[in-house]
């Protein structure tokens, strides 16, 4: 079958979205490929379709358990049963059984951390790898917005697997990040496809409020007004939970929260309820969204300022995947950026914790106060890097920490400048990616847009009924 026949027969689509055909044809021509496609344009098809046409397994490196599970289920729904995710959902016995029977699987999902385990690499080396896929490839770069140290080791893992044909996928990566991806994965000869970050069907709206207490009331008003379903993003777990209580108290009952502190089973339940249309609104942290393949999300609201533009574009891109009008609303109170300053500081070990490991020789698990999983990974990774550079561990780790914190601060102020600017919102964020300004209707709050496009039909009907009553009253009581 041709790729068009596969597209129709296997996936049920009549045409490709921008970037899909180019990426797939590049791979089928045997070219290593780096593709930057906007969120919501079907990046998973770019490896699923060629994977079915190539001999051998498709290995997909993915950053989140929820994303893996969603992709596994999507493939199974399409009738592909030769799929597995090697992650913490599997019990020890199940994992080792799967590794001993890898020849049964066509699509193999796993985390970058899993690829650092020698017994996993050994099992994979016994399997013919047709395609090595790095999803969310911006995580490779320390300048990417979701830095994961083990992503930086994928080049070594790829070499151990025999340097298979490789696809790197991302939705938001500037020139520097794309350069890091190529270098880290050792892709000297690579076909690069970069498409616009613009999603023209999503209107961009920013509301500047004066007090934090205004936000809950305004959120409730907006959610009542807008077509549903929708997602509301928060920077903290507690805020997401409190917002659900508040919205339910005000009549928005089909609402639930989602964050990384929840039990895995509870998170999967919320995902399924949202995908199946049993929930109108999910109040979530950034843990929610990757892999949420739901076309009819009509709005994305940011209750807190996103940490940086790349994360913002990823999150608003979960709206309007069906191509119909959708809206993104950001609620901003001056000073909101300080929350992300605190969050950024907490992502890394502090100087005292670094000293306990590098100078006192404590194992990371014995450090006080206890390290988070992210902090421990950071310390272990950069301690090894310091040894390789033959530098002082303490100095090396502190310097990396300072560099990354400075970069995060720069990104926060970039967001703040974008909010405060008088120019077109869309043109400004497209400029970050060296794209020309767009020319479109229903653009942003600076350019203007028709808000009735995003209004819930019930609201339209109620307003029409109110108007009819006024007209009838005027007929009965002239001059009223």
Give the chain's domains with CATH numbers: 3-194 (3.40.50.300)
Full pLDDT tens readout for the chain, 480 residues = 899 999 999 888 999 998 999 999 999 999 999 999 988 778 999 999 999 999 999 999 998 777 787 788 888 888 899 999 998 778 888 888 899 999 999 999 999 989 989 999 999 999 999 999 999 999 999 777 777 888 999 999 999 999 999 999 999 888 999 999 999 999 989 999 999 999 999 999 999 999 988 999 999 999 999 999 999 999 999 999 999 999 999 999 999 999 988 987 898 899 889 999 999 999 999 878 766 778 999 999 999 999 999 999 999 999 999 999 999 999 999 999 999 899 899 989 999 999 999 999 999 989 999 999 889 989 998 999 999 999 999 999 999 999 999 999 999 999 999 999 999 999 999 998 889 998 888 999 999 999 999 999 765 445 545 545 555 445 444 444
The pLDDT, as a whole number, for residue 291 is 62
List of E strands, 238-382: 255-258, 281-284, 299-302, 326-332
Coarse DSSP helix, strand, coil percentages of the chain, rounded to the nearest 5 percent: 50, 15, 40
Kindly give, in sequence order, each residue whose CB lies less than 8 Å from that of residue 270, ignoring residues fewer than 6 positions away.
Answer: 256, 257, 258, 262, 279, 282, 288
Q: Is 75 helix (H, G, I), strand (E, B) or coil?
A: helix
The pLDDT, as a whole number, for residue 460 is 46
**What is the rounded CA–CA span in Å between residue 182 and residue 184?**
6
Minimal CA–CA distance to 170: which of 131, 197, 138, 148? 138
Kindly give, in sequence order, each residue whose CB lies less than 8 Å from that of residue 260, ignoring residues fewer than 6 positions away.
Answer: 237, 285, 287
Give the CA count within 13 Å in the CB-facing half-sphere of 410: 9
The tens digit of pLDDT for each residue in 325-362 reads 999 999 999 999 999 899 899 989 999 999 999 999 99
The pLDDT, as a whole number, for residue 470 is 53
Give the CA count within 13 Å in the CB-facing half-sphere of 160: 17
Tokens 């993915």 found at? 62
Q: Given the DSSP bridges, would you call strands 166-170 and 299-302 parallel, antiparallel or unpaired?
A: unpaired
Q: Which helix (H) or strand (E) holds 425?
A: helix 425-431
Contact 355, 382 (CB under 8 A): no
- Our separate counts of H helices and E strands in the chain read 18, 13
Q: Which helix (H) or strand (E) holds 233?
A: strand 230-233
**For residue 194, what are the β-bridge partners?**
36
The pLDDT, as a whole number, for residue 461 is 46
């Amino acid at each position: 079958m041709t790729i068009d026949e596969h597209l129709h027969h296997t996936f049920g689509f009549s045409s490709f979205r921008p970037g899909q055909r180019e990426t797939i044809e590049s791979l089928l021509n045997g070219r290593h490929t780096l593709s930057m496609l906007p969120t919501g344009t079907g990046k998973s098809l770019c490896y699923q379709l060629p994977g079915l046409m190539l001999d051998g397994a498709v290995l997909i490196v993915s950053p989140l358990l929820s994303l893996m599970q969603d992709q596994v289920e999507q493939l199974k729904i399409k009738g592909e049963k030769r799929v597995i995710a090697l992650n913490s959902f599997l019990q020890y016995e199940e994992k080792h059984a799967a590794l001993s029977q890898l020849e049964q699987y066509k699509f193999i999902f796993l985390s970058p951390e899993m690829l650092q385990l020698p017994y996993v690499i050994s099992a994979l080396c016994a399997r013919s790898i047709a395609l090595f896929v790095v999803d969310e490839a911006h995580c490779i770069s320390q300048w990417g917005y979701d830095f994961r140290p083990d992503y930086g080791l994928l080049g070594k893992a790829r070499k151990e697997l025999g340097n298979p044909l490789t696809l790197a996928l991302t939705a938001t990566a500037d020139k520097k990040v794309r350069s890091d991806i190529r270098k880290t994965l050792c892709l000297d000869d690579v076909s690069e496809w970069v498409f616009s970050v613009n999603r023209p069907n999503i209107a961009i709206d920013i509301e500047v409020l004066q007090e934090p207490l205004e936000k809950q009331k305004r959120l409730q008003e907006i959610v009542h007004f807008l077509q549903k379903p929708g997602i509301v993003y928060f920077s903290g777990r507690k805020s997401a939970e409190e917002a659900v209580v508040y919205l339910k108290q005000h009549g928005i009952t089909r609402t639930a929260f989602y964050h990384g502190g929840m039990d895995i089973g509870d998170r999967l339940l919320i995902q399924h309820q949202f995908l199946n249309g049993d929930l109108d609104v999910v109040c979530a942290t950034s843990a929610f969204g990757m892999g949420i393949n739901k076309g009819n999300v009509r709005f994305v609201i940011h209750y807190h300022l996103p940490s940086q533009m790349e994360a913002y574009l990823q999150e608003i891109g979960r709206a309007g995947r069906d191509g119909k009008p959708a809206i993104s609303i950001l609620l901003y109170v001056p000073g909101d950026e300080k929350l992300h300053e605190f969050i950024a500081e907490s992502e890394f070990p502090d100087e005292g914790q670094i000293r306990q490991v590098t100078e006192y020789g404590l194992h990371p698990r014995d450090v006080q106060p206890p390290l988070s999983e992210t902090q421990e990974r950071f310390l272990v990774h950069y301690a090894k890097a310091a040894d390789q550079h033959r530098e002082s561990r303490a100095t090396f780790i502190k310097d990396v920490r300072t560099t990354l914190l400075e970069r995060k601060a720069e990104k926060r102020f970039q967001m703040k400048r974008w909010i405060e600017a008088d120019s077109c919102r869309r043109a400004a964020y497209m400029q970050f990616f060296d794209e020309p300004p767009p020319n479109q209707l229903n653009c942003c709050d600076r350019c203007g847009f028709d808000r009735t496009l995003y209004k819930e039909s019930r609201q339209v009907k109620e307003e029409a009924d109110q108007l009819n009553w006024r007209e009838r009253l005027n007929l009965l009581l002239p001059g009223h």
